[in-house]
Amino acid sequence: MTPAHRPHILLVHWHDLGRHLGTYGRTGVPSPHVDALAAEGVRFDRAFSTAPLCSPARGSLFTGRYPHNHGLLGLSHLGWEYAPGTRTLPALLGAAGYRTALAGMQQESSRPESLGYDEVLAYGRGLERRAHCGPVADAAIGWLERTAGSPEGVADGAAAGADGRPFFLVVGFEEAHRPYPPERYPPDDPASVTVPGFLPDNEWTRDDLAAFQGAVRAADAATGRLLAALDRFGLADDTWVIFTTDHGTAFPRAKSTLYDPGTEVALIMRPPAGWSTPRGATGRLFSHVDLVPTVLESLDIEPPADVQGVGHTAWLSGGDPAPVRTRVFTEKNFHEVYDPTRAVRTERHKYVRNFEPRPLLALPGDIETAPTRRGYGDDHLRPRPADELYDLAADPLERADLAADPAHRELRDRLAAELHEWMADTEDPLLDGPLTGVPWPRRRRYGALVPEDGEQDGEPG
């Protein structure tokens, strides 16, 4: 593919969704438009975020780097920002000739204008918590019409906007983040929902899932309007549509944990019409750090040397079917409390290292106050072990911890060594001891805080 034929790119991301969609086998979930998108493209069934909370995960999605490298060790609204010199996907595409814009949710910075977009639309401030799907979709569709759309279609199928440049439009919905007010998201029938196996099946959980699915329904409808606009403006055939979310669902044992429900993400790509990309579902492992190199390499743009993901470009172009990764790495540092954990996941096993004594689950406030919590019990408050090991084939719900089993000692030690090697290779500051609870100040060390003279380290969390 030559630069003259670079396609438009529309990246749509939701909030706290995980894979709670019909196309991923969640029965009764109202997501027909996203399901249809998956049917037209490729659905990644084993894609994972790098972190189970918003800002660190989004930072990896847009930089191709792990949280302890890109600097967002915690939430941006608590003061965390990218480390100096961090380059984002919109900045890299802008330098390559793309016109870039953000509509809706972002949670990478308190200053969205610093993220590298040419334009940040009215509903692009994210942190002001007004990025609801309806007005965000309106803003994005209006931008498409002004920038690249034509009711008669795009002449000769050329992927170029009104100014001759292809566009990179990022559309972020706050949905399906809690809360789920019924006046905005009419809930589904609790009796009709399917309760995931990692949650207790009771009236509290069902009511909560029914409300959650109301938010999914609204976001799906807004996504459908975006996709319809591409058709209406003659852009669909020349647009690479990418759909994903930041991390897992906001339920116990999901968001804020390194179990699969906390880091699993929906990832769907509908390539331009002329691409020979395989269609349908794929079980290849994909980490969010892989998106940046995959996009750039597919456009004949050399990824920066500091990008840590791997490109799936050869496979996307219809070439080499071999997997480019055999494991994914995930991490957590600061959410509402300091909770440093690391994990390595292969196709079959997962090893988790917990670096501080904590309860088995440290529930964030939005989950602690959720209806599901009322029927969840208190078993999750018992102390957690330092190491956890799971056989995902025999135990997909990650209930049977094998770390202390002598029969699995060799496997545990091998995965622990792989995790340590990854931490060393990526200069993870956690290897040097506990992290500070103060966000990046004016002076920084690669991955670790160096307080200004006279400053005091803040409390963790």
Assess whether pLDDT exceeds 90 at residue 422. Answer: yes
456 falls within a domain: no
Count the residues in the chain: 461
The pLDDT of residue 133: 95
- 149 pLDDT band, cuts 50/70/90, is low
Please tell me the distance from the alpha carbon of residue 349 to that of residue 323, in angstroms, as a whole number.
Answer: 17
Phi, psi of 403 (to 5 degrees): -60, -35
Q: Is the pLDDT of residue 153 over 60?
A: no
pLDDT in tens, 188-217: 999 999 999 999 999 999 999 999 999 999
- Here the tokens at position 436 are 């500070």
Q: Does 26 have pLDDT greater than 60?
A: yes
| Percentage of the chain modeled with pLDDT above 70 | 89
| The last residue of a domain, from among 270, 296, 323 | 323
- Are residues 217 and 128 part of one domain? yes
pLDDT at 321: 81
Q: Are residues 363 and 295 in the same domain?
A: no
Query: What does the alpha-carbon distance between residue 214 and residue 382 come to, in Å, rounded to a whole number?
Result: 33
In order of 19, 132, 320, the CA distances from 267 in angstroms are: 8, 21, 20
Per the domain annotation, does 461 fall within a domain? no
Domain contains 460 = no
- pLDDT above 60 for 32: yes
Tell me which of 323, 351, 384 is where a domain ends: 323
Identify whether residues 236 and 378 lie together within a single domain.
no
Which CATH number belongs to the domain containing residue 392 in this structure? 3.30.1120.10
**Out of 18-22, 44-48, 432-436, least confident range:** 432-436
284 with 354, same domain: the answer is: no
Residue 146 in any domain: the answer is yes
pLDDT at 6: 93
What's the pLDDT score for residue 318? 85
Does residue 341 sit within a domain? yes
Q: Which of 323, 353, 375 is where one domain is finished? A: 323
In total, how many domains does the chain have? 2
* 164 and 15 belong to one structural domain: yes
Q: Which two tokens stand for residue 85?
A: 């010199």
Burial readout 90-117 (b: 16 or more C-beta within 10 A, e: otherwise): bbbbbebebbbbbbbbbbbbeebeebbb
Pairing of β 387-391 and β 444-445: unpaired
Residue 156 CB contacts under 8 Å (≥ 6 apart), including other chains: none
Does residue 130 carry a pLDDT above 80?
Answer: no
Same structural domain for residues 426 and 335?
A: yes
Is residue 151 over pLDDT 80?
no
Question: Which pLDDT does position 424 carry in this prediction?
Answer: 98
| Helix, strand, coil percentages in the chain from 3-state DSSP, rounded to 5 | 35, 20, 50
DSSP-derived secondary structure for 172-191: E--TTPSP--TTTS----GG
- 226-281, pLDDT tens digit by residue? 999 999 999 999 999 999 999 999 999 999 999 999 999 999 999 999 898 889 99
How many whole angstroms separate alpha carbon 279 and alpha carbon 271?
Answer: 9
DSSP 302-366: PPPTT--S---HHHHTT---S-S-SEEEEEEEESSSEEEEEEEEESSEEEEEE-S--BS----HH
Say which range, 2-16, 81-95, 370-384, has the weakest mean pLDDT. 2-16
Domain that holds residue 349: 328-433+440-449
What is the predicted pLDDT for the residue at 64? 98
Q: What does the alpha-carbon distance between residue 218 and residue 187 come to, in Å, rounded to a whole number?
A: 10
Structural element, H or E, at residue 20: none
Residue 241 lies in a domain: yes
In this predicted structure, the answer to whether residue 452 has a pLDDT above a threshold of 80 is: no
At 282, list the tokens.
Answer: 């794929």
Q: Could you tell me the CATH number of the domain that includes residue 41? A: 3.40.720.10
Which sign does the torsion angle of CA 173, 174, 179, 181 carry? negative
Q: What is the value of pTM for the model shown?
A: 0.92
Neighbours of 453 (CB within 10 A): 5
**Pair (111, 77) in one structural domain:** yes
Residue 16 sits in the same domain as residue 98: yes
Residue 398 within a domain: yes
Q: Is residue 154 part of a domain?
A: yes
Report H helices in 426-454. none
Confidence check: pLDDT of 306 > 50 = yes
Is residue 171 scored above 60 in pLDDT? yes
pLDDT at 272: 95
CA distance 169 to 146: 13
Per-residue confidence (pLDDT) for residue 160, from 0 to 100:
53
Tell me the pLDDT band of 156, cut-offs 50, 70 and 90. very low
Do residues 353 and 317 both lie within one domain?
no
Note whether 308 and 401 are same-domain residues: no
